[in-house]
Amino acid sequence: MSGVVVLISGRGSNLRAIVDGGVPVAAVISNRADALGLAFARGREIKTAVVEHRDYASREAFDAALAKAIDRHAPRLVALAGFMRILTASFVERYRGRMMNIHPSLLPAFPGLHTHAAALAAGVKIHGATVHFVTQELDHGPIIIQAAVPVLPGDDADRLAARVLEQEHVIYPMAIRWFLDGRLSLSGGRVDVAGDGARQFQLVDR
Ligand code: GRF
């Protein structure tokens, strides 16, 4: 087993941060052939694969094909980075404890889509991003690290998203490195990180 398989559906800025962070990426797999992140991966000579969800009649069939594509690389970790598909229970179970996601809110607040607009509408003053292990419940698995940023006067969803995204690029590679270094432990739904100087939060005041 070696490295990380990253699943993407689009832009791939988190993928880029992961690669630039020195994480060994065994392959990048997308459910969309036009995902921008695939071009980036090819440019870095990382193996890529496309498993188009539209080619499969059911979620189960798609997830089975996806698992096959992943397992070909025997990764230690599967990292979802803007992968826009709901996964079946058996897929989630197959990678239990070795599949992570990054979500653009401070979970458990604002699961699902359009998190920045939802945060603005709720009037929260602090927003952020969360890296968590993936479980059956969408956007609710054990939290590995969170980054908090302020919501500033004059923010719209795009400005807020950009502030959060900058921090996503800091915390996701960090969480993955902790995992690969064997520093993460999971008990009772809580994740701890071993070793000195590891903070499971990032606070940004700008
Ligand atoms: C990020 O905001 C991530 O938190 C969310 O989807 C977005 C993906 O962006 N899950 P990118 O493709 O990594 O640029």
Final residue before a domain boundary, out of 95, 116, 136: 95
Structure tokens at 66: 């996806």
Same domain, 76 and 143: no
Cα 114 to Cα 81: distance, rounded to the nearest angstrom: 16
> 174: helix, coil or strand?
helix
Final residue before a domain boundary, out of 46, 79, 95: 95
CATH number of the domain encompassing residue 161: 3.40.50.170
Q: What is the pLDDT along the chain (206 residues), one digit of tens a residue?
A: 679 999 999 999 999 999 999 999 999 999 999 999 999 999 999 999 999 999 999 999 999 999 999 999 999 999 999 999 999 999 999 999 999 999 999 999 999 999 999 999 999 999 999 999 999 998 999 999 999 999 999 999 999 999 999 999 999 999 999 999 999 999 989 999 999 889 999 999 98
Whole-model pTM?
0.97
Same domain, 106 and 195: yes
Final residue before a domain boundary, out of 71, 95, 119: 95
At 41, give phi and psi (nearest 5°).
-60, -45
Give the model's pLDDT for residue 60: 97
Q: Ligand 1 centroid vs 159 CA: distance in angstroms?
A: 15
Give the model's pLDDT for residue 194: 96
Give the model's pLDDT for residue 206: 86
Same domain, 26 and 106: no
The residue whose CA is least distant from atom 9 of ligand 1 is: 82
Same domain, 190 and 135: yes
Same domain, 149 and 202: yes
By most ligand atoms within 8 Å of CB, the mutation choice from 6, 8, 9, 13 for ligand 1 is 13
* Count: domains in the chain: 2
Q: Which residues of 72-86 are buried (b: 16+ CB within 10 A; e: fewer)?
A: ebebbbbbbbbbebe
DSSP 33-68: TT-HHHHHHHHTT-EEEE--GGGSSSHHHHHHHHHH
Same domain, 107 and 204: yes
Instruction: Judge whether 103 counts as a catalytic residue.
Output: yes
What domain range is 116 assigned to? 102-206
Give the model's pLDDT for residue 181: 96
| Paired strand residues for 203 | 148
- Which listed residue (73, 103, 132, 169) is catalytic? 103
Same domain, 157 and 88: no
